[in-house]
Structure 1
Amino acid sequence: MIALTPPFRLAMAADAAPLADLVNFAGEGLPLYLWTGMATDGQDPWDIGRARQAAKAREGQIVVADFGQGAVASLTGYVIGAEPTEITDDFPSLLRPLQELENQALNSWYVNVLASYPDCRGQGLGSRLLDLAEDIARAEGLQRMSVIVASDNTGARRLYERKGYAERATAPCVKEAWDTSTEFWVLLIKALN
Protein backbone atom coordinates (compact mmCIF):
# COMPACT_ATOMS: atom_id res chain seq x y z
CA MET A 1 0.00 0.00 0.00
CA ILE A 2 1.16 3.52 -0.72
CA ALA A 3 1.76 6.07 2.05
CA LEU A 4 -1.40 7.96 2.99
CA THR A 5 -1.63 11.44 4.46
CA PRO A 6 -4.61 13.02 6.26
CA PRO A 7 -7.46 13.13 5.70
CA PHE A 8 -6.84 9.73 4.07
CA ARG A 9 -6.09 6.57 6.01
CA LEU A 10 -6.67 2.85 5.81
CA ALA A 11 -10.08 1.79 7.05
CA MET A 12 -10.39 -0.08 10.32
CA ALA A 13 -12.95 -2.66 11.39
CA ALA A 14 -14.49 0.07 13.56
CA ASP A 15 -15.45 1.87 10.31
CA ALA A 16 -17.76 -1.00 9.30
CA ALA A 17 -21.05 0.91 9.69
CA PRO A 18 -20.14 3.93 7.54
CA LEU A 19 -18.38 1.64 5.05
CA ALA A 20 -21.57 -0.40 4.60
CA ASP A 21 -23.48 2.85 4.01
CA LEU A 22 -20.90 4.02 1.47
CA VAL A 23 -20.85 0.70 -0.38
CA ASN A 24 -24.62 0.79 -0.64
CA PHE A 25 -24.54 4.40 -1.89
CA ALA A 26 -21.99 3.48 -4.54
CA GLY A 27 -23.92 0.38 -5.55
CA GLU A 28 -27.24 2.24 -5.70
CA GLY A 29 -28.91 -0.28 -3.41
CA LEU A 30 -27.54 -3.43 -5.04
CA PRO A 31 -25.36 -4.32 -2.02
CA LEU A 32 -28.35 -4.17 0.35
CA TYR A 33 -30.33 -6.30 -2.09
CA LEU A 34 -27.52 -8.90 -2.10
CA TRP A 35 -27.11 -8.78 1.70
CA THR A 36 -30.87 -9.28 2.08
CA GLY A 37 -30.58 -12.43 -0.03
CA MET A 38 -27.75 -13.68 2.21
CA ALA A 39 -29.63 -13.03 5.45
CA THR A 40 -31.01 -15.97 7.37
CA ASP A 41 -34.25 -15.82 9.35
CA GLY A 42 -34.31 -12.71 11.49
CA GLN A 43 -30.82 -11.57 10.47
CA ASP A 44 -30.38 -7.88 9.68
CA PRO A 45 -28.94 -7.53 6.15
CA TRP A 46 -26.98 -4.49 7.34
CA ASP A 47 -25.16 -6.75 9.82
CA ILE A 48 -23.96 -8.81 6.85
CA GLY A 49 -22.80 -5.67 5.05
CA ARG A 50 -21.01 -4.36 8.11
CA ALA A 51 -19.29 -7.71 8.70
CA ARG A 52 -18.13 -7.88 5.09
CA GLN A 53 -16.74 -4.35 5.23
CA ALA A 54 -15.01 -5.01 8.57
CA ALA A 55 -13.28 -8.03 7.02
CA LYS A 56 -12.08 -6.00 4.03
CA ALA A 57 -10.86 -3.26 6.36
CA ARG A 58 -8.87 -5.79 8.41
CA GLU A 59 -7.25 -6.93 5.15
CA GLY A 60 -6.19 -3.34 4.33
CA GLN A 61 -8.37 -3.14 1.20
CA ILE A 62 -10.15 0.16 1.86
CA VAL A 63 -8.96 3.79 1.98
CA VAL A 64 -11.20 6.31 3.72
CA ALA A 65 -11.37 10.06 4.10
CA ASP A 66 -11.69 11.01 7.76
CA PHE A 67 -11.66 14.59 9.05
CA GLY A 68 -11.68 13.46 12.68
CA GLN A 69 -15.29 12.33 12.96
CA GLY A 70 -15.01 8.98 11.16
CA ALA A 71 -15.09 7.81 7.57
CA VAL A 72 -17.02 10.10 5.22
CA ALA A 73 -15.77 8.73 1.88
CA SER A 74 -14.16 5.50 0.76
CA LEU A 75 -12.24 3.79 -2.01
CA THR A 76 -12.10 0.03 -2.46
CA GLY A 77 -10.41 -1.61 -5.39
CA TYR A 78 -8.32 -4.52 -6.52
CA VAL A 79 -6.11 -5.82 -9.28
CA ILE A 80 -7.82 -7.61 -12.15
CA GLY A 81 -5.16 -10.04 -13.31
CA ALA A 82 -4.19 -11.38 -16.71
CA GLU A 83 -6.71 -14.24 -16.77
CA PRO A 84 -10.48 -13.78 -17.03
CA THR A 85 -12.70 -15.24 -14.33
CA GLU A 86 -14.58 -18.26 -15.61
CA ILE A 87 -18.32 -17.70 -15.80
CA THR A 88 -19.92 -21.08 -15.20
CA ASP A 89 -23.58 -22.02 -15.56
CA ASP A 90 -24.12 -21.58 -11.82
CA PHE A 91 -22.68 -18.03 -11.78
CA PRO A 92 -25.34 -15.68 -10.31
CA SER A 93 -27.27 -14.13 -13.20
CA LEU A 94 -27.46 -10.73 -11.47
CA LEU A 95 -23.65 -10.54 -11.31
CA ARG A 96 -22.88 -12.16 -14.67
CA PRO A 97 -22.88 -8.93 -16.75
CA LEU A 98 -20.57 -7.27 -14.21
CA GLN A 99 -18.12 -10.17 -14.39
CA GLU A 100 -18.30 -10.17 -18.19
CA LEU A 101 -17.27 -6.52 -18.16
CA GLU A 102 -14.51 -7.10 -15.60
CA ASN A 103 -13.17 -9.82 -17.90
CA GLN A 104 -12.67 -7.10 -20.52
CA ALA A 105 -10.51 -5.07 -18.11
CA LEU A 106 -7.65 -7.51 -17.59
CA ASN A 107 -4.40 -6.20 -16.12
CA SER A 108 -6.04 -3.16 -14.55
CA TRP A 109 -6.67 -1.74 -11.10
CA TYR A 110 -10.43 -1.92 -10.66
CA VAL A 111 -12.27 0.77 -8.71
CA ASN A 112 -14.88 -1.36 -6.97
CA VAL A 113 -16.29 1.29 -4.62
CA LEU A 114 -15.87 5.05 -4.69
CA ALA A 115 -18.39 6.89 -2.53
CA SER A 116 -18.92 9.72 -0.11
CA TYR A 117 -21.76 10.69 2.14
CA PRO A 118 -24.15 13.04 0.30
CA ASP A 119 -23.28 16.03 2.52
CA CYS A 120 -19.57 15.57 1.65
CA ARG A 121 -20.02 15.54 -2.12
CA GLY A 122 -18.70 18.37 -4.24
CA GLN A 123 -15.58 18.78 -2.08
CA GLY A 124 -13.19 16.96 -4.42
CA LEU A 125 -12.93 13.80 -2.30
CA GLY A 126 -13.84 11.52 -5.21
CA SER A 127 -11.21 13.09 -7.42
CA ARG A 128 -8.57 12.85 -4.71
CA LEU A 129 -9.44 9.22 -3.99
CA LEU A 130 -9.16 8.44 -7.71
CA ASP A 131 -5.69 10.02 -7.70
CA LEU A 132 -4.79 7.70 -4.82
CA ALA A 133 -6.20 4.75 -6.78
CA GLU A 134 -3.88 5.61 -9.65
CA ASP A 135 -0.92 5.80 -7.27
CA ILE A 136 -1.85 2.36 -5.93
CA ALA A 137 -2.13 0.98 -9.48
CA ARG A 138 1.28 2.36 -10.43
CA ALA A 139 2.79 0.88 -7.26
CA GLU A 140 1.32 -2.47 -8.40
CA GLY A 141 3.01 -2.03 -11.79
CA LEU A 142 -0.27 -1.60 -13.67
CA GLN A 143 -0.77 0.66 -16.66
CA ARG A 144 -4.51 1.10 -16.64
CA MET A 145 -7.53 1.68 -14.43
CA SER A 146 -11.06 0.32 -14.77
CA VAL A 147 -14.49 0.91 -13.26
CA ILE A 148 -18.07 -0.15 -13.98
CA VAL A 149 -20.84 2.40 -13.53
CA ALA A 150 -24.60 2.25 -13.90
CA SER A 151 -25.80 3.83 -17.12
CA ASP A 152 -28.06 6.24 -15.23
CA ASN A 153 -25.39 7.36 -12.73
CA THR A 154 -24.48 10.50 -14.66
CA GLY A 155 -22.67 12.17 -11.75
CA ALA A 156 -20.24 9.29 -11.31
CA ARG A 157 -19.71 8.98 -15.03
CA ARG A 158 -18.91 12.69 -15.34
CA LEU A 159 -16.31 12.38 -12.57
CA TYR A 160 -14.61 9.42 -14.24
CA GLU A 161 -14.65 11.04 -17.66
CA ARG A 162 -13.12 14.24 -16.22
CA LYS A 163 -10.36 12.03 -14.83
CA GLY A 164 -9.66 10.53 -18.28
CA TYR A 165 -11.76 7.36 -18.25
CA ALA A 166 -13.50 6.39 -21.50
CA GLU A 167 -16.28 3.94 -22.30
CA ARG A 168 -15.02 0.56 -23.42
CA ALA A 169 -18.10 -1.70 -23.31
CA THR A 170 -21.64 -2.05 -21.98
CA ALA A 171 -23.75 -4.94 -20.74
CA PRO A 172 -27.47 -5.09 -19.93
CA CYS A 173 -28.40 -4.90 -16.27
CA VAL A 174 -30.04 -8.04 -14.89
CA LYS A 175 -32.43 -6.83 -12.20
CA GLU A 176 -34.16 -9.86 -10.71
CA ALA A 177 -36.18 -8.28 -7.86
CA TRP A 178 -33.70 -5.43 -7.35
CA ASP A 179 -35.60 -2.14 -7.68
CA THR A 180 -33.48 -0.05 -10.03
CA SER A 181 -33.82 2.13 -13.09
CA THR A 182 -30.41 1.02 -14.38
CA GLU A 183 -30.65 -0.41 -17.88
CA PHE A 184 -26.95 -1.00 -18.63
CA TRP A 185 -23.61 -1.36 -16.91
CA VAL A 186 -20.82 0.68 -18.50
CA LEU A 187 -17.15 -0.32 -18.36
CA LEU A 188 -14.80 2.66 -18.33
CA ILE A 189 -11.02 2.34 -18.81
CA LYS A 190 -8.19 4.80 -18.29
CA ALA A 191 -4.62 4.31 -19.50
CA LEU A 192 -1.97 5.47 -17.04
CA ASN A 193 1.03 7.42 -18.28
Structure 2
Amino acid sequence: MPIATIPPLRLFHPEDATTVARLNDMASGGVLFNIWTKATGEDGDPWEQGRLQQIDQVNSGWVVIVLDQGNGVEAVLMGQPHTKEPVSTEGVDPIWVPLMELENLVPGSWCINVIATLPEYRGKGHAAMLVKQAEALARDGRHASLALVVADENVGAIRLYHNCGFSQVARRPMVKGDWDGPGGDWILMLKPLQDN
Protein backbone atom coordinates (compact mmCIF):
# COMPACT_ATOMS: atom_id res chain seq x y z
CA MET A 1 0.00 0.00 0.00
CA PRO A 2 1.48 3.40 -0.95
CA ILE A 3 2.26 5.72 1.95
CA ALA A 4 0.69 9.17 1.76
CA THR A 5 2.50 12.11 3.32
CA ILE A 6 1.73 15.81 3.35
CA PRO A 7 4.56 18.37 3.31
CA PRO A 8 6.66 19.07 5.27
CA LEU A 9 6.64 15.27 5.71
CA ARG A 10 8.02 13.09 2.94
CA LEU A 11 9.43 9.63 2.42
CA PHE A 12 13.12 8.95 3.04
CA HIS A 13 15.60 9.45 0.19
CA PRO A 14 19.03 7.74 0.25
CA GLU A 15 20.73 11.14 0.52
CA ASP A 16 18.97 11.60 3.89
CA ALA A 17 20.80 8.61 5.37
CA THR A 18 23.63 10.51 7.10
CA THR A 19 21.27 12.81 9.01
CA VAL A 20 18.82 9.98 9.71
CA ALA A 21 21.69 7.90 11.16
CA ARG A 22 22.53 10.79 13.49
CA LEU A 23 18.89 11.11 14.56
CA ASN A 24 18.55 7.35 15.02
CA ASP A 25 21.65 7.31 17.23
CA MET A 26 20.37 10.27 19.27
CA ALA A 27 17.08 8.44 19.85
CA SER A 28 18.98 5.36 21.02
CA GLY A 29 21.00 7.31 23.56
CA GLY A 30 24.20 6.40 21.74
CA VAL A 31 23.70 2.64 21.72
CA LEU A 32 23.73 2.55 17.92
CA PHE A 33 27.03 4.42 17.65
CA ASN A 34 28.44 1.88 20.11
CA ILE A 35 27.21 -1.00 17.93
CA TRP A 36 28.43 0.64 14.70
CA THR A 37 31.86 1.26 16.25
CA LYS A 38 32.19 -2.39 17.24
CA ALA A 39 31.04 -3.51 13.79
CA THR A 40 33.59 -1.39 11.91
CA GLY A 41 36.60 -1.89 14.18
CA GLU A 42 39.44 0.53 14.85
CA ASP A 43 39.98 1.56 11.25
CA GLY A 44 36.34 1.72 10.17
CA ASP A 45 33.89 4.61 10.02
CA PRO A 46 30.95 4.02 12.39
CA TRP A 47 28.94 6.85 10.81
CA GLU A 48 29.29 5.26 7.37
CA GLN A 49 28.08 2.00 8.93
CA GLY A 50 25.11 3.90 10.33
CA ARG A 51 24.39 5.60 7.02
CA LEU A 52 24.33 2.26 5.23
CA GLN A 53 22.12 0.74 7.93
CA GLN A 54 19.45 3.38 7.33
CA ILE A 55 19.31 2.46 3.64
CA ASP A 56 19.26 -1.27 4.46
CA GLN A 57 16.35 -0.76 6.86
CA VAL A 58 14.28 1.02 4.22
CA ASN A 59 15.12 -1.73 1.72
CA SER A 60 14.00 -4.37 4.24
CA GLY A 61 10.56 -2.80 4.72
CA TRP A 62 10.94 -0.21 7.47
CA VAL A 63 8.87 2.94 7.02
CA VAL A 64 11.07 6.03 7.25
CA ILE A 65 9.44 9.45 6.97
CA VAL A 66 11.35 12.69 7.38
CA LEU A 67 10.25 16.22 8.14
CA ASP A 68 11.89 18.50 5.58
CA GLN A 69 10.84 22.13 5.12
CA GLY A 70 13.16 22.61 2.16
CA ASN A 71 16.51 22.79 3.92
CA GLY A 72 17.05 19.11 4.63
CA VAL A 73 15.96 16.66 7.30
CA GLU A 74 14.90 18.21 10.60
CA ALA A 75 13.22 15.17 12.19
CA VAL A 76 12.49 11.53 11.44
CA LEU A 77 9.93 8.79 12.09
CA MET A 78 11.05 5.19 11.69
CA GLY A 79 8.72 2.27 12.31
CA GLN A 80 7.13 -0.90 11.10
CA PRO A 81 4.29 -3.27 11.89
CA HIS A 82 5.28 -5.79 14.56
CA THR A 83 4.78 -9.43 13.70
CA LYS A 84 1.84 -11.27 15.20
CA GLU A 85 4.23 -13.93 16.52
CA PRO A 86 6.97 -13.25 19.10
CA VAL A 87 10.44 -12.67 17.67
CA SER A 88 13.14 -14.95 19.09
CA THR A 89 15.93 -13.28 21.05
CA GLU A 90 18.20 -16.29 20.66
CA GLY A 91 21.63 -15.27 19.39
CA VAL A 92 20.78 -11.56 19.60
CA ASP A 93 23.22 -9.08 21.15
CA PRO A 94 22.08 -8.86 24.81
CA ILE A 95 21.77 -5.08 24.54
CA TRP A 96 18.70 -5.56 22.26
CA VAL A 97 16.99 -8.34 24.25
CA PRO A 98 14.93 -6.13 26.63
CA LEU A 99 13.68 -4.03 23.70
CA MET A 100 12.67 -7.13 21.77
CA GLU A 101 10.98 -8.61 24.85
CA LEU A 102 8.91 -5.46 25.22
CA GLU A 103 7.90 -5.40 21.55
CA ASN A 104 6.92 -9.07 21.83
CA LEU A 105 4.28 -7.99 24.37
CA VAL A 106 2.37 -6.09 21.67
CA PRO A 107 2.01 -8.48 18.73
CA GLY A 108 0.36 -6.96 15.69
CA SER A 109 0.93 -3.36 16.83
CA TRP A 110 2.45 -0.75 14.56
CA CYS A 111 5.73 0.02 16.35
CA ILE A 112 7.44 3.39 16.35
CA ASN A 113 11.14 2.55 16.48
CA VAL A 114 12.43 6.13 16.26
CA ILE A 115 11.06 9.63 16.56
CA ALA A 116 13.82 12.20 16.79
CA THR A 117 14.35 15.87 16.03
CA LEU A 118 17.66 17.65 15.54
CA PRO A 119 18.37 19.86 18.58
CA GLU A 120 18.12 23.12 16.66
CA TYR A 121 14.55 22.28 15.54
CA ARG A 122 13.10 21.07 18.84
CA GLY A 123 10.10 22.76 20.43
CA LYS A 124 8.36 23.33 17.08
CA GLY A 125 5.86 20.43 17.23
CA HIS A 126 7.81 18.14 14.90
CA ALA A 127 7.57 15.07 17.16
CA ALA A 128 3.81 15.48 17.65
CA MET A 129 3.36 15.74 13.87
CA LEU A 130 5.35 12.52 13.39
CA VAL A 131 3.30 10.71 16.05
CA LYS A 132 0.15 11.68 14.13
CA GLN A 133 1.71 10.33 10.94
CA ALA A 134 2.52 7.04 12.71
CA GLU A 135 -1.05 6.81 13.98
CA ALA A 136 -2.37 7.33 10.45
CA LEU A 137 -0.11 4.52 9.20
CA ALA A 138 -1.30 2.23 11.99
CA ARG A 139 -4.96 2.98 11.24
CA ASP A 140 -4.44 2.53 7.49
CA GLY A 141 -2.89 -0.87 8.23
CA ARG A 142 -5.80 -1.76 10.54
CA HIS A 143 -3.52 -2.27 13.54
CA ALA A 144 -5.19 -2.41 16.94
CA SER A 145 -2.55 -0.26 18.61
CA LEU A 146 0.48 1.95 18.22
CA ALA A 147 3.49 1.05 20.39
CA LEU A 148 6.92 2.45 21.20
CA VAL A 149 9.79 1.94 23.62
CA VAL A 150 11.46 4.91 25.34
CA ALA A 151 14.25 5.27 27.90
CA ASP A 152 13.03 6.12 31.41
CA GLU A 153 15.33 9.17 31.58
CA ASN A 154 13.72 10.74 28.50
CA VAL A 155 11.04 12.55 30.50
CA GLY A 156 10.26 15.06 27.74
CA ALA A 157 9.46 12.30 25.26
CA ILE A 158 7.43 10.39 27.86
CA ARG A 159 5.38 13.52 28.55
CA LEU A 160 4.81 14.03 24.80
CA TYR A 161 3.67 10.42 24.38
CA HIS A 162 1.30 10.69 27.36
CA ASN A 163 -0.15 13.85 25.81
CA CYS A 164 -0.62 11.92 22.54
CA GLY A 165 -2.66 9.20 24.30
CA PHE A 166 0.00 6.59 25.14
CA SER A 167 0.18 4.78 28.48
CA GLN A 168 3.00 2.82 30.05
CA VAL A 169 2.31 -0.93 29.93
CA ALA A 170 5.64 -2.57 30.85
CA ARG A 171 9.32 -1.94 31.47
CA ARG A 172 12.59 -3.86 31.39
CA PRO A 173 16.05 -3.03 32.79
CA MET A 174 18.52 -1.91 30.15
CA VAL A 175 21.43 -4.21 29.33
CA LYS A 176 24.40 -1.89 28.90
CA GLY A 177 27.57 -3.94 28.49
CA ASP A 178 30.17 -1.44 27.26
CA TRP A 179 27.53 1.17 26.41
CA ASP A 180 27.22 3.87 29.08
CA GLY A 181 24.10 5.61 27.81
CA PRO A 182 21.51 7.38 29.95
CA GLY A 183 18.68 5.66 31.80
CA GLY A 184 18.09 2.45 33.69
CA ASP A 185 14.93 1.00 32.15
CA TRP A 186 13.25 0.76 28.77
CA ILE A 187 9.52 1.62 28.97
CA LEU A 188 6.91 0.19 26.61
CA MET A 189 4.09 2.62 25.86
CA LEU A 190 0.91 1.76 23.99
CA LYS A 191 -1.94 3.68 22.38
CA PRO A 192 -4.98 1.52 21.58
CA LEU A 193 -6.78 2.38 18.35
CA GLN A 194 -10.30 1.28 19.26
CA ASP A 195 -12.00 2.06 15.98
CA ASN A 196 -9.83 -0.38 13.98
Is 2:179 the partner of 1:178?
yes
Query: 1:91 and 1:15 mapped to 2: Cα distance?
Result: 28
Is 2:29 the partner of 1:28?
yes
Checking the alignment, whether the CA contact within 8 Å between 1:2 and 1:135 is kept in structure 2 is no
Is 2:159 the partner of 1:158?
yes
* C-alpha deviation, 1:65, in angstroms: 0.4
Checking the alignment, whether the CA contact within 8 Å between 1:2 and 1:139 is kept in structure 2 is no
Identity of aligned residues (%): 35
Letter in 1 for 2:7: P
Query: 1:2 and 1:61 mapped to 2: Cα distance?
Result: 9
| Residue of 80, 87, 91 corresponding to 2:89 | 87
Letter in 2 for 1:171: R
Match of 1:99 in 2: 100
Q: Secondary structure at the match of 1:189?
A: strand
Query: 1:57 and 1:85 mapped to 2: Cα distance?
Result: 20
Q: Secondary structure at the match of 2:94?
A: coil
Query: 1:73 and 1:115 mapped to 2: Cα distance?
Result: 6
Checking the alignment, whether the CA contact within 8 Å between 2:62 and 2:79 is kept in structure 1 is no
Deviations 1:56-77 (A, max 9, x none): 3455721000011111100000
Query: 2:28 and 2:92 mapped to 1: Cα distance?
Result: 19
Query: 2:73 and 2:182 mapped to 1: Cα distance?
Result: 28
Query: 2:72 and 2:103 mapped to 1: Cα distance?
Result: 31
Is 2:80 the partner of 1:78?
yes
Q: Secondary structure at the match of 1:5?
A: coil
Deviations 1:115-172 (A, max 9, x none): 0101111111100110000110111110201000001110111111110110100100
* C-alpha deviation, 1:54, in angstroms: 2.4
1:37-56 alignment, distance < 5 Å:
37-56=38-57
Deviations 1:40-96 (A, max 9, x none): 3411101100111123345572100001111110000001121001222x2221111
Query: 2:86 and 2:178 mapped to 1: Cα distance?
Result: 28
Checking the alignment, whether the CA contact within 8 Å between 2:29 and 2:182 is kept in structure 1 is no
Query: 1:188 and 1:175 mapped to 2: Cα distance?
Result: 21
Structure 2 alignment gaps of length 5 or more: none
Query: 1:79 and 1:64 mapped to 2: Cα distance?
Result: 18
Letter in 1 for 2:39: M
Is 2:139 the partner of 1:138?
yes
Q: What TM-score, normalized to structure 1? A: 0.95
Query: 1:44 and 1:86 mapped to 2: Cα distance?
Result: 30
Q: Secondary structure at the match of 1:106?
A: coil
Aligned length: 192
Letter in 1 for 2:74: V
Checking the alignment, whether the CA contact within 8 Å between 1:63 and 1:75 is kept in structure 2 is yes
Query: 1:189 and 1:87 mapped to 2: Cα distance?
Result: 21
Q: Secondary structure at the match of 2:54?
A: helix
Q: What TM-score, normalized to structure 2? A: 0.94
Checking the alignment, whether the CA contact within 8 Å between 2:62 and 2:78 is kept in structure 1 is no
Structure 1 alignment gaps of length 5 or more: none
RMSD (Å) for aligned C-alpha atoms: 1.3
